[in-house]
Chains A and B, each alone.
Chain A
Amino acid sequence: MSELSRRQALMAVGATVTAAPRLAVARIAIVDATLHRAGHPPLEHSVVVLAGERIVQIAERADFTQTSSDRVIDGTGKILTAGLVDPLTRIGVAEIDLEDGSHDDALVTKNAMRAAFAVADGYNPASALIAVARREGLTSVGVTPTGGLVMGQSAWADLIGDTPEQALAQKSLALHVLLDDPTLGDSGLNRASALYRLRALLEDARTYRNNRAGYHRAANSEVGVGKRDLEVVVRALEGKLRVVVHVDRAADILNVLALAKDNGLALVLASVAEGWKVRDALADADVPCIVYPLDDGPRNFTALGAREDNAAMLHAAGVTIALATGESHNARKLRQEAGNAVRAGLPWPAALDAVTDAPARIFGLDATHGSPTVGRLANLALWTDDPFELSSRVQALFIRGREVSLRTRQTVLFERHR
C-alpha cells in the first residue's frame, strides 16, 4: 500500500487519522477574528493557525509569533467558526431530483430492507451542489440514502476532494431507518408494521450472529433478507454502527427508544417533530436528535404536534441536538434555519453547536471534526458577521486546511449574464 493510499484509507475511518510527517508544511494564520467555539466564550483577536490539514494552534493575538513562511489572513471585524455541517442531505448522490439518471441515493429494489446498501457507492465529488453548499459555509455533510424501511448506510463527506476516497471521511456512517411519513419512502408501511418488521429483522440478525454457518434465508428469515444485509445489522446490534431512525410521532419515538434499549442500538433520532412532548425521556435515554428547525404545524398525521421551538425545548431539556435542512440543493439554507431556531428560542451558542460540533459528536467523528480545536481538521468559515444573519456572507472557507474557492456554477452564470 502506497503512503498516499494508506493515508486515504486512514482518512476513511476518520478518528485515527494522523498527518503524515512532512517538511516545511505551509501554514495559514487567520488573525484578529472573533472565534466562536462550542463550549467556549468567544475569543476576540484570536489567532488560528492551520498547518497541512489541521489546526495546530489557537491563541490570542498577543501570544502569536508569526513565522516568515506563514500566510496571514486578516480576520479583523470578522467571525470565525467551524465550517457548518448538515447531517441529512443527499449532496453528491442527487443532482437533479426529477431526473432518475442523475441520482444514486437509493437501492433500486422492491425490498424494503436495504441495510447493505451504502450510499457512498454513489458519491460524486464533482457534483455541482457541493460548491453551492460551500459558498454558504458548509464544509461537511451527511449523505443519506432514501427509500425503503431500512434505507441503507449514510456517509460523511467533507466538501472537498477529487475522488470519493478523498472526500468521504466515513463511508459507513450510520444505518438509516424510516419509521415516519410513509409518503416519504416506498416502504409502504405504517408505523406499527414498520416496528414489527424491524423487530423481525433484528431477531433474524441475532439468529444469524449466533450461527452464521447454519443460517438459511428461507428457513430462518421472516423478512427475507440475505447475509450481506444481516452482517450490517449485526454491526448495529453490537453498537458498532449507529442507527438513525427518522420518526416524528411522540408515541413512535418512545417505541423506538424501547426498541433501541432492548437491542443495544446506538440510536440517533432524526426529524423528531413531536420530540418536545417526550423530551425528558429523550434526555434520560441520552439519545441525540437531528431536528428540522422550520418544521412547524401539522404537516401530516405523524407530525400533528410539530412546532418551531422543538429544538429549543429539546435543548433546554438537555438533549443533544443537531440541525438539518433536509435539503440538498438548498442545504445552503442551514445558517438561515439555525437563525430561525434562535428566533424560536434556541440560545445562539447552542445553535452554533448544533450546526458544527454536535453532528461530529453524534456520529463519533469528533476526534477530527467539529468545533475548532488543535489537532482537528481545519474546517473553518470566516464570516463577515453573525453567520446566521442574512446580511452576512462567507469571506473565506477552509476544508482540511485548504482554502477553497467560493465560485460556483451559479456565480459563473451571474458573471456571464450580468
Chain B
Amino acid sequence: MNVRAFVTEATRAGLAVALACGCVPDNVAFGPARSAADAAAPTLLTKVEVADAPWRTEALEQHPASIDGAPAIIFRGARLLVGDGTEIPVGHVVVVRGRITAVGEGPGEAPAGARVLDVSGKTITPGLIDTHSHMGVFPMPAAAAHRDGNEMTASTTAAVRAIDAVWAHDPAFQRALAGGTTTVQVLPGSANLIGGRATTLKLVPSNTAEGMHFKGAPDGLKMACGENPKRVYGNRTQAPMTRMGNLAGQRTAFLAAKKLIAQWEQFRVTELQRQTQHRDATQRFAAETKDRETKRAACAQKTARARDCRQWEASFAKESPKPPEPLEPRLPPDRDLGAETLAAAIEGRVLVHVHCYRADDMTRMMALADEMAFSIRSFHHALDAYKIRDVLAKRRISVSTWADWWGFKLEAWDGIPENLALIHASGGIPILHTDSDEGVRRMNQEASKAMWSGRHAGLGITDAEAIRWVTMNPAWALGIDAWVGSLAVGKDADLVVWDRDPFSVYAHAERVFVDGLERHQRGAPGRPRSDFEATP
C-alpha cells in the first residue's frame, strides 16, 4: 500500500516536494552511496508508508564512481604529500577513469595505454580545498550588480542558498585553480546570524553552478556570531544590536526548526495511525466479506448446519456491506524553507559552519549547539581558537582560519600566527581557509606561513602534517573526505603537480587535475576561461 493512494488533491500540493522523488529513501544521508544490497531491498507492499519531512528527502546526487573519457595516467618520480599525514619520498600515482587506482613507492605499474608523466623532482599533493570562499557570490569585478553574497534584509535567512547566486564565470575561479585549489565551499556572507546554505564546488569550467557542484557533497549552513550581525542590524536600530540579541535571534530560529521537527513527528504519527487504522479496517472488512461469502456458500450448499445459517443471516442483515471509507488525511505542516534547513542541520544532513572570532563567542555557540542538539563542524576565522583549543579538540570541532589576518576589527585583535600550529599540537583539526579570492590562489603559501610560525615557536610540524590543513582536514569539514582530500585508492583524481616544494613562496602549481582531467597547465595557452574576460 503506497502513501500516494491516500493523497488527496488538498494534500498533494503540500507533499509535492516530499514525494517528488519517490526513489529517495528516507534514511539517505551524506557520505558514501548506500550499498547495492540496500538499494535492492524489496518494498513490502503491506508496509504503511508515511511521507517524510522534506529536509529528509532532499535528493542528493550520487557521487560518480568514475568519469567517462578521463584518460589513464601514471605519475612517476614525484615526492608525494599524501594528505593523510604521510609522505612518500619518491612514488607513483595511477589514475584511471578519473579515480586514483594505485599510490605507492617506486615507479609502479602502468596500466595498458596509460599516459606516463615523468614528474621527477616535483611534488604531488591532493587538490587543495578551501572551506571558506565567496567566489561566485561576490565575483570579480567588484560591482553593485555582483553583491550576491549577503541577503541583508533580515538577520536570519536560513532559506537562501549560495548556489542560487554563484556566477560560474567569476574570473577568480580559474585563478584559484591555477594556484592548485580544486574544491571550495562557497558560503553566504557573515552579515546575518544565519546566512543560509553554503555549497561545495569543484573548480571545473562550466556555465552553471550546477555544473561545478561537487556531486554528493552535503550543503553547509553558514552562521555568524559576534560583531557583524549586530553591527549591520544595530546600525539600522534593528535586532540584533548586541551579542545578547545575536544569541536570542539564533535560539529563536532553531526553536522554530525544532517546532517544525515536532510538527512533522506529530504528522507522521497521526498519519501512521490513520493509515494503520484504515489498513486494519480494510483488512477486517475483506476478512469479514470473505467469511460471509464462505458462510453463504456453505449455507447454499447445505454444508453448514441450519441453525448456524440462521444466526449468520441475522448478523449479515445487521452489518453494513460497505467497505470502510478512508479517514480524511491531515495536512502536513506548512513548508518553511529556513526551518527545514535548520532541521537538516540538527539532523546532520547539512553541516554547520560558524563565523566566530572570540573564544567566548565560540563558547556561546557551543552552548547553543548543545541546547538545540546540533553539531558544529567548523568554526571559521576563529582567531581566538588557540585559547580554547582543548575544548575544540575534545568536541572534534575543526578550526578554519588564516595564517596571519588580525586586527581589522576588535574581535580580531588577539589573532596570532601560531593559532593553527597550536590547534595542531593540541590534537584538534586545523584548517587553513582563505575567505579571499586572492588567498585562495596561494593556499600553499598561507599553509606554509602557518606551519613555519609553529616551527619557529618550537611546535614540531612535518610538511606531511601541514598539507593536511589544506587537503584532508577541509575535506572532512565539508563531508567529502570519502572522495577527496588525500591520494588514496578509490578517491577522485584531484591532484596538483608542484614545480618544487609547495611550501616555497616561489612554487607554482604546474599541472592541476580534477577528476583525472588536466584543468590547468602552467604557461599553456587558453586563458582566460571566463566569458567575462573575452576580448576582441
Do chains A and B interact in one complex? yes
Q: Does A196 contact B (CB under 8 A)?
A: no
Query: Which residues of B from 490 to 530 have beta carbons under 8 Å from A?
Result: 503-508
Nearest B residue to A96 via CB reads B410
Q: Does A304 contact B (CB under 8 A)?
A: yes
**Interface residues as binary, A403-418 with B (CB distance below 8 Å gives 1, 0 otherwise):** 0000000110110011
Q: Does A333 contact B (CB under 8 A)?
A: yes
**Interface residues as binary, B307-338 with A (CB distance below 8 Å gives 1, 0 otherwise):** 00000000000000000000000000000000
Nearest Cβ in chain A — how far from B522, in angstroms?
11
Q: Does A297 contact B (CB under 8 A)?
A: yes
Q: Does B211 contact A (CB under 8 A)?
A: no
Q: Does B218 contact A (CB under 8 A)?
A: no
B533 and A298 contacting across the interface, CB-CB below 8 Å: yes
A410 and B415 contacting across the interface, CB-CB below 8 Å: yes
Name the contact of A340 in the complex, choosing from B143, B409, B416, B442 (C-beta under 8 A). Answer: B442
List chain A positions with a Cβ less than 8 A from chain B: 95-99, 128-129, 132, 181, 183, 294, 296-301, 303-304, 329-330, 332-333, 336, 339-340, 342-343, 388-391, 393, 410-411, 413-414, 417-418
26 A-B pairs with C-beta separation under 8 A: A96-B407, A96-B408, A96-B410, A97-B407, A183-B142, A296-B441, A297-B171, A298-B140, A298-B532, A299-B141, A300-B141, A303-B141, A329-B406, A342-B506, A343-B507, A389-B505, A390-B449, A391-B448, A410-B416, A411-B416, A414-B416, A414-B422, A417-B387, A417-B422, A418-B422, A418-B457
Nearest Cβ in chain A — how far from B267, in angstroms?
46
**Interface residues as binary, B440-466 with A (CB distance below 8 Å gives 1, 0 otherwise):** 011001001100100011000000000
Residues of B within 8 A of A413 (CB): 414, 416
A96-B413, A390-B449 given; A296·B506 CB < 8 A:
no
Name the contact of B506 in the complex, choosing from A183, A339, A414 (C-beta under 8 A). Answer: A339
Nearest Cβ in chain B — how far from A409, in angstroms?
8
A340 and B141 contacting across the interface, CB-CB below 8 Å: no
Nearest A residue to B388 via CB reads A417
Nearest Cβ in chain B — how far from A262, in angstroms?
31
**Interface residues as binary, B393-437 with A (CB distance below 8 Å gives 1, 0 otherwise):** 000000000001111111001111110001000000000000001
B141 and A301 contacting across the interface, CB-CB below 8 Å: yes
Residues of A within 8 A of B405 (CB): 329-330
A296 and B175 contacting across the interface, CB-CB below 8 Å: yes
B448 and A390 contacting across the interface, CB-CB below 8 Å: yes
Residues of A within 8 A of B408 (CB): 96-98, 329
- Additional 16 contacts, C-beta under 8 A, given A388-B505, A390-B449, A413-B416: A96-B410, A97-B407, A294-B438, A296-B441, A297-B175, A300-B143, A301-B143, A336-B445, A340-B505, A343-B507, A390-B504, A410-B406, A410-B417, A414-B416, A414-B418, A417-B422
Nearest Cβ in chain B — how far from A188, in angstroms?
14
Nearest Cβ in chain B — how far from A145, in angstroms?
19
B448 and A297 contacting across the interface, CB-CB below 8 Å: no
CA distance A329 to B409 in the complex (A): 11
Among all A-B residue pairs, the 9 with the closest Cβ atoms: A339-B505, A329-B407, A98-B409, A390-B448, A410-B416, A300-B141, A300-B142, A298-B141, A97-B408
B409 and A414 contacting across the interface, CB-CB below 8 Å: no
Q: Does B177 contact A (CB under 8 A)?
A: no
Residues of A within 8 A of B404 (CB): 330, 332-333
Nearest A residue to B418 via CB reads A414
Residues of B within 8 A of A96 (CB): 407-410, 413
A390 and B141 contacting across the interface, CB-CB below 8 Å: no
Q: Does B212 contact A (CB under 8 A)?
A: no
CA distance A97 to B141 in the complex (A): 23
Q: Does B172 contact A (CB under 8 A)?
A: yes
CA distance A349 to B8 in the complex (A): 79
A410-B406, A413-B414 given; A336·B141 CB < 8 A:
no
Q: Does B231 contact A (CB under 8 A)?
A: yes
Instruction: Count B-side interface residues using an 8 Å CB cutoff.
Output: 43
**Interface residues as binary, B287-320 with A (CB distance below 8 Å gives 1, 0 otherwise):** 0000000000000000000000000000000000
B503 and A390 contacting across the interface, CB-CB below 8 Å: yes
Query: Residue among A98, A332, A411 with the most chain B CB within 10 A?
Result: A98
Residues of A within 8 A of B143 (CB): 300-301
Query: Residue among B231, B404, B422 with the most chain A CB within 10 A?
Result: B404
Nearest Cβ in chain B — how far from A386, in angstroms?
9
Name the contact of B386 in the complex, choosing from A303, A332, A339, A417 (C-beta under 8 A). Answer: A417
Query: Which residues of B from 171 to 187 have beta carbons under 8 Å from A?
Result: 171-172, 175
Q: Does B271 contact A (CB under 8 A)?
A: no
Query: Residue among B142, B406, B416, B418 with the most chain A CB within 10 A?
Result: B416
Q: Does B227 contact A (CB under 8 A)?
A: yes
CA distance A343 to B408 in the complex (A): 28
Nearest Cβ in chain B — how far from A22, in angstroms?
37
Residues of A within 8 A of B386 (CB): 414, 417
CA distance A342 to B143 in the complex (A): 31
CA distance A398 to B410 in the complex (A): 31
A98-B408, A414-B457 given; A299·B449 CB < 8 A:
no
A96-B409, A340-B505, A410-B406 given; A304·B416 CB < 8 A:
no
A299 and B142 contacting across the interface, CB-CB below 8 Å: yes
Nearest Cβ in chain B — how far from A167, in angstroms?
20
Residues of B within 8 A of A303 (CB): 141
Residues of B within 8 A of A98 (CB): 227, 231, 408-410
B407 and A297 contacting across the interface, CB-CB below 8 Å: no
CA distance A390 to B506 in the complex (A): 9
CA distance A372 to B441 in the complex (A): 34
CA distance A97 to B404 in the complex (A): 16
Residues of A within 8 A of B175 (CB): 296-297
CA distance A411 to B417 in the complex (A): 9
Nearest Cβ in chain A — how far from B527, in angstroms?
10
CA distance A391 to B505 in the complex (A): 9
CA distance A329 to B406 in the complex (A): 7
Residues of A within 8 A of B231 (CB): 98
B505 and A336 contacting across the interface, CB-CB below 8 Å: yes
CA distance A329 to B403 in the complex (A): 13
Nearest Cβ in chain B — how far from A299, in angstroms?
6
CA distance A410 to B412 in the complex (A): 12
Nearest Cβ in chain B — how far from A186, in angstroms?
16
Residues of B within 8 A of A181 (CB): 142
CA distance A414 to B425 in the complex (A): 13
**Interface residues as binary, B450-488 with A (CB distance below 8 Å gives 1, 0 otherwise):** 001000110000000000000000000000000000000
Residues of A within 8 A of B532 (CB): 298
Nearest A residue to B174 via CB reads A297
A297 and B172 contacting across the interface, CB-CB below 8 Å: yes
Residues of A within 8 A of B452 (CB): 390-391, 393
